[in-house]
């Protein structure tokens, strides 16, 4: 009986090592940069619209032939071009978030994967308008499209995501467009 337990544990541990090696070889980490377009009530924004930059890290793991899981950490920094020129602090919108996305590949090939993404994230938001500031942590969902393209010299990722934060009222929304390189 003890010999049978030893064999089961031995085979199970071999299977887990093989499975973890296979999953690790499928992980595709990437670094990306892009632009973000926060959608904020018009009354809280000055005449010039805010401009944002976004960046972060992403790890993508294919689960089945057409399903992927992405884990990511991102940041978005906004500044108003008018206030940057006039040296005043009119409007600032900063957002940090981490999340997990589930993607379904619309078109799958080893060289090009286009996916529809649905995810949930935890957001940390700080807004500054004139002398008032607001900080909050909230959950949210994101919807988007992702394209990971593998080439001879560089692997690239292109994503468009619409982020819907659950708080505050009215719910802030952010559109991010990112482009980056996959290691």
Looking at residue 42, what is its pLDDT? 39
User: Which domains are present in the chain?
Assistant: 28-182 (2.40.160.70)
Helices then strands (H, E): number in the chain?
A: 2, 8
Residue with tokens 């900063």: 94
Residue 116 in this model has a pLDDT that exceeds 90: yes
Please tell me the distance from the alpha carbon of residue 62 to that of residue 82, in angstroms, as a whole number. Answer: 44
pLDDT per residue over 5-32, tens digit each?
Answer: 555 665 555 554 544 444 444 555 566 6
Please tell me the distance from the alpha carbon of residue 101 to that of residue 103, in angstroms, as a whole number. Answer: 6
Please tell me the distance from the alpha carbon of residue 126 to that of residue 78, in angstroms, as a whole number. Answer: 10
Looking at residue 163, what is its pLDDT? 84
- Of 93-97, 127-131, 139-143, 145-149, the one with minimum mean pLDDT is 127-131
């Amino acid at each position: 009986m003890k010999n049978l337990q030893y064999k089961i544990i031995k085979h199970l541990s071999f299977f887990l090592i093989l499975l973890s090696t296979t999953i690790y070889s499928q992980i595709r980490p990437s670094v990306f940069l892009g632009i973000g377009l926060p959608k904020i009530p018009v009354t809280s924004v000055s005449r010039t619209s805010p401009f944002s930059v976004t960046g972060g890290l992403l790890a993508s793991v294919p689960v089945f032939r057409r399903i992927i899981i992405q884990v990511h950490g991102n940041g978005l920094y906004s500044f108003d071009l008018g206030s940057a020129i006039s040296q005043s602090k009119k409007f600032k919108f900063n957002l940090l978030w981490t999340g997990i996305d589930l993607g379904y590949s619309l078109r799958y090939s080893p060289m090009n994967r286009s996916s529809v993404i649905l995810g949930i994230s935890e957001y940390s938001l700080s807004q500054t308008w004139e002398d008032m500031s607001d900080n909050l942590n909230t959950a949210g969902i994101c919807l988007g499209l992702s394209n990971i393209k593998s080439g001879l010299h560089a692997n690239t990722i292109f994503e468009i995501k619409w982020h819907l934060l659950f708080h505050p009222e009215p719910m802030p929304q952010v559109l991010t467009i990112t482009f980056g390189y996959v290691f």
